Amino acid sequence: MTAIASNLGHVKGQLPATVTLVAVSKTHPPETVMEAYDAGQRDFGENRVQEMVAKQAVLPQDIRWHQIGSLQRNKVRQIAPFVHLIHSIDSLRLLEEVDRQAQLNGRVIDVLLQFHIAQEETKQGMSHREVDEVISAARVTGMDGIRIRGVMGMATFTDDEAQVRAEFRALREAFLRLKREHFAADDAFDTVSMGMSGDFVLAVEEGSTMVRVGGAIFGRRG
């Protein structure tokens, strides 16, 4: 067994079967992604469009590619033909562009609304009010090219477990509120993307349905 297969097994062993594992392969070459693929992994996350497009072209077509990093509107066109889930919707204008490019490709693209839950100023994401505005605007204009599947967030990078737990809990509560207020009749609104190598066990305890794990699978980024 390769180290990557063994790491994957170790991470999966800590996840309930209902939680989706996105293996974050950013900065790792296609051969490394293939090792995880050969061990059965199919969901992979990338944060740079260029890199995702290059890997998608040379790797098996049944891989589900997740866009997890901040996404510029002028790059949406490149991933629209194949991307499986965009985790990083952080403005109405970005969502409008995803909708437009999806329709040009005859697709419906699944998306998550990224919340700002961390203390750090640098982490992207929207406030509760901005999220409500995006949902309302999406309702008014229709947007047949997108399907809002849930929420995503990144906790503060800190050793303070109580703080990380509280941030994850707040994201889960935001998801439940949106479900109640906007998506009660929509079974597809079912995803809470939270948890990375350092905090995915906490995230799952706080209700994550999808974790994004890089280092714990692929080792230190090269």
Ligand X SMILES: *Cc1c(COP(=O)(O)O)cnc(C)c1O
Residues interacting with ligand X, by CB under 6 A?
A: 24, 26, 47, 68-69, 154, 196-198, 212-216
Q: Based on CB atoms, which residue is closest to ligand X, 28 or 143?
A: 28
Q: Strand locations in 60-119, DSSP E?
A: 64-67, 85-89, 109-114
For residue 174, give the 3-state DSSP assignment: helix
For residue 49, give the 3-state DSSP assignment: helix
Q: Based on CB atoms, which residue is closest to ligand X, 53 or 108?
A: 53
Q: Based on CB atoms, which residue is closest to ligand X, 101 or 114?
A: 114
Q: Based on CB atoms, which residue is closest to ligand X, 143 or 155?
A: 155
- What would the two tokens of residue 131 be? 């999220």
Residue 101: CA atoms inside 13 Å, Cβ hemisphere, count?
A: 20
DSSP-derived secondary structure letter, 220: S
Find the shortest distance in angstroms from Cβ 200 to ligand X.
8
Find the shortest distance in angstroms from Cβ 193 to ligand X.
8
Backbone angles phi, psi at 60, to 5 degrees: -55, 145
Find the shortest distance in angstroms from Cβ 110 to ligand X.
17
CA–CA separation, 202 and 161 (whole Å):
8
Find the shortest distance in angstroms from Cβ 47 to ligand X.
5
Q: Based on CB atoms, which residue is closest to ligand X, 69 or 81?
A: 69
CA–CA separation, 49 and 13 (whole Å):
30
Find the shortest distance in angstroms from Cβ 53 to ligand X.
17
The CB-nearest residue to ligand X is 214
Single out the residue of 124, 135, 107 nearest to residue 47, CA to CA. Answer: 124
